[in-house]
Amino acid sequence: MPIISMPERKAWVLRTNHTDYAIGVDESGALQHLYWGEKLSLPDDYPGADCRQAWIWEPEDGISREETMPWGKRNFAEPGLKVEFADRTRDLVLHFTGAHIENDTLRIELQDALKSLQVTACYRVFGEFDLIERSLEVKNTGDAPANIEQAMSAIWHLPVYSSYRLTYLTGHWGAETQLRRETLHEGKKIIEARRGITGHTSNPFFAVDFGDAAEEYGHVYFGGLAFSGHWKIVAERTPYQTLQLAAGIHDFDFRWLLKPGETFVTPVCVGGFTADGYGDASRKLHGYQQEHVQRNGGELRKVLYNSWEATYFDVNEENQKRLAEKAAKLGVERFVVDDGWFGQRDDDTAGLGDWHVNRTKFPNGLKPLIDYVTSLGMDFGIWVEPEMVNPDSERYRQHPDWVYHFPDRPRSEGRNQLVLNLAREDVQAFVFQTLDELLSTHEISFVKWDMNRYFSEPGWPCAEAGREREIWVRHVNALYDIWRRLQEKHPHVQFESCAGGGGRVDMGIMRFADQFWTSDNTDALDRLRIQWGYSHAYNSKSMVCWVTETVNYMNGRRIPLKFRFHSAMMGTLGIGMNLNHLTPQEIEEAAGYIAQYKQIRPVVQEGHCYRLSPPEHSDLTSVQYVGRDGLQAVVFVFRHAQQFGHPAFPVRPCGLEPYMRYRNEETGEVRSGQGWMSRGIQLKLTGDYDSAIVRLLQVQDNDKEFHSFEKN
């Protein structure tokens, strides 16, 4: 039973396989947080709704642990909901009016004490993954308009501890998803995006522990916000040692007009608890994403080739055909033509918005290339950036009012381009029709949807009065809607979300995006860190990693082909090299890695991920995947730079069955799961950029040997 109701206490327990999350109504009628942690056994184990302590200057309601945290009365914490009514009242006091349970969903209805505003706190339980999805619905039931000034998807109240530590992801273009862990002191730590997209600088993922958790042990509270635009997560630690995490749409420059009868629905925020450390937290998110978020979660992702780093804007029918031939020989399954195939797109100064095939580069359209690619046994994929125009484009010359701008003020360009205002219905129609036509008239199986600048001057001059600041949400919702409609009409087409690398990676767009372009940084060493951070929040199936050429453009580093492949084989493998530059030996070697990848792909893409050795702690990084059936494990080991002649230290795998035997596929050595986990794998990795993949295969017929050994 995922939701246990305790009517005599007006309380509910959301129960997952290993956790309980309890809420209840207090004497005043407010919905209070009661408990979140390990499963409890007796009704009396849960605290009551009225047991908060009072402090001088901070009466009970001043340190309220309300689930929705309305801004009113004496609620001083980061608001969960802030509303201005037509008579300019800015006070919101929510009282319980009813609860509805349907299977795994609980909806608690609340109503403002005096005004006609109905708020529904929504909860959905994902038992297997110990996760709860939360969101808020706000309905204007009165006859005058109201304005929402802040609406968070969830307020998470953590148990009171003496120390809290926040884990989050930060970075920048070319250095996304860098992991940070820091102690929270009194005050607020805010991670946010105010740039129109999810952003490279922060990612809407969080984890909190009490200062003592590690990869495979310790209490961790974690989660993520499913939204691809204007968001913030606020970790607020009070001087009374409480911690609340507010996650949702950013209130900065946000205002939503709620007319009588209208409902505003927030995005979803998912949160969970584990007693088994960061690794378990990640595995829970990974599994949930695969089962409940990704629309093609159960499908293995194809090995792709992408033309970007090989030919940049200089794509044409002939050079793409030559690359396609070589890609097919390597074992590539999907060939993707990147930027440069449309309009007057010879560099990044022109063409965006003009989505017709460039006839100089493709005299007979894309069909001959697509036919050739499919005749070679590969899918065909294409790059688009539909939310943009270059000022130097036919589209912009015809519709200069289609971009975000303030009248009479300059329009700042980023990468020589401007952002289309997706809040406008005519722009939505243009974007949908453009893609619909492209997909209807070509045999395209894959779309890489890019977005290469942040918003600026976010004006919407023709908006209905009072709706101008809704663009931050309307843009994202329109984008989701376009993707949804395209996917309904073209269900076989897979989508990749890209924004100058990993600028739009989150669980909101993940409902539509089968995979993400993780970073424009394809340096295999840097990638170890980027991918390490990424794995905390998102599964490996969604993480696209290309093998590109050496010297890599990012750091000028030379890395052997083996290391580059191994690094990219930890997610969805792609090839981004100019294949004409490879020697016959390198072609053969590369084909070997691709064949090996196909063998281990189900384990890497769908298995349980264990992070064994972090890139920043030593000269060795190691990540392991255990197949869902438990029958095999794949361990990736990377030696960055040997020093002082030290041997590589042993890597200790996790997640094996202690009493089953496993054979090292390469050496033939057999040990028990415990034997491998306790003693570790000792590898001869020397010099710079050495790497290995170790496959441990479970040996059947285990019982005999263990029993006879234990008897001795």
Are the beta carbons of 552 and 522 closer than 8 angstroms?
yes
How many other β-carbons are positioned within 10 Å of the β-carbon of residue 143? 10
**In terms of Cα–Cα distance, which of 489, 403, 498, 388 is closest to 449?**
498
CB of 600 to ligand GLA, least distance (A): 25
Verify whether residue 688 is a known catalytic residue.
Answer: no
List, in order, residues 6 or more apart from 144 with CB less than 8 Å away: 85, 86, 87, 260
Which two structure tokens, joined as six digits, stand for 26?
């207090």
Are the beta carbons of 232 and 191 closer than 8 angstroms?
yes
Residues that bind ligand GLA (CB under 6 A): 308, 338-339, 383, 450, 452, 498, 500-501, 517, 520
**Token pair 């997909």: residue:** 439
Amino acid at 419: V
**In terms of Cα–Cα distance, which of 120, 147, 148 is closest to 134?**
120
Q: Which is nearer to ligand GLA, 96 or 308 (CB)?
A: 308
CB of 338 to ligand GLA, least distance (A): 5
Strands 105-112 and 94-102 turn out to be antiparallel
Verify whether residue 450 is a known catalytic residue.
Answer: yes
Which two structure tokens, joined as six digits, stand for 220?
């961790």
Q: Which is nearer to ligand GLA, 282 or 548 (CB)?
A: 548
Catalytic residue among 339, 379, 450, 523: 450
CB of 305 to ligand GLA, least distance (A): 13
Backbone angles phi and psi of 562, in degrees to 5: -60, -50
CB of 353 to ligand GLA, least distance (A): 14
CB of 513 to ligand GLA, least distance (A): 14
d(CA 142, CA 580): 68
CB of 238 to ligand GLA, least distance (A): 41
Backbone angles phi and psi of 137, in degrees to 5: -120, 130
Q: What is the DSSP letter of 186?
A: S
Cβ-closest position to ligand GLA: 339
End-to-end CA, the chain: 47
Which two structure tokens, joined as six digits, stand for 368?
């001959």
Q: Which is nearer to ligand GLA, 383 or 662 (CB)?
A: 383
Helix (H, G, I), strand (E, B) or coil at 645: coil
d(CA 640, CA 687): 8
Q: Which is nearer to ligand GLA, 154 or 175 (CB)?
A: 175
Are the beta carbons of 658 and 672 closer than 8 angstroms?
yes
Q: Which is nearer to ligand GLA, 109 or 450 (CB)?
A: 450
CB of 336 to ligand GLA, least distance (A): 9
CB of 323 to ligand GLA, least distance (A): 15
Q: Which is nearer to ligand GLA, 244 or 518 (CB)?
A: 518
Are the beta carbons of 316 and 340 closer than 8 angstroms?
no
Q: What is the DSSP letter of 77?
A: S
Q: Which is nearer to ligand GLA, 498 or 623 (CB)?
A: 498
Distances (CA, A) of 599 to 531, 603, 608, 696: 21, 9, 16, 13
Q: Which is nearer to ligand GLA, 234 or 323 (CB)?
A: 323
| CA dihedral for 417, 423, 424, 425, sign (positive or negative) | positive
Q: Which is nearer to ligand GLA, 223 or 501 (CB)?
A: 501
DSSP characters for 595-613?
HHHHHHHHHHHHSEEEEEE
d(CA 681, CA 675): 10
Are the beta carbons of 540 and 532 closer than 8 angstroms?
no
Catalytic residue among 520, 523, 526, 690: 520
CB of 451 to ligand GLA, least distance (A): 9
d(CA 52, CA 627): 46
Residues assigned a catalytic role: 450, 520
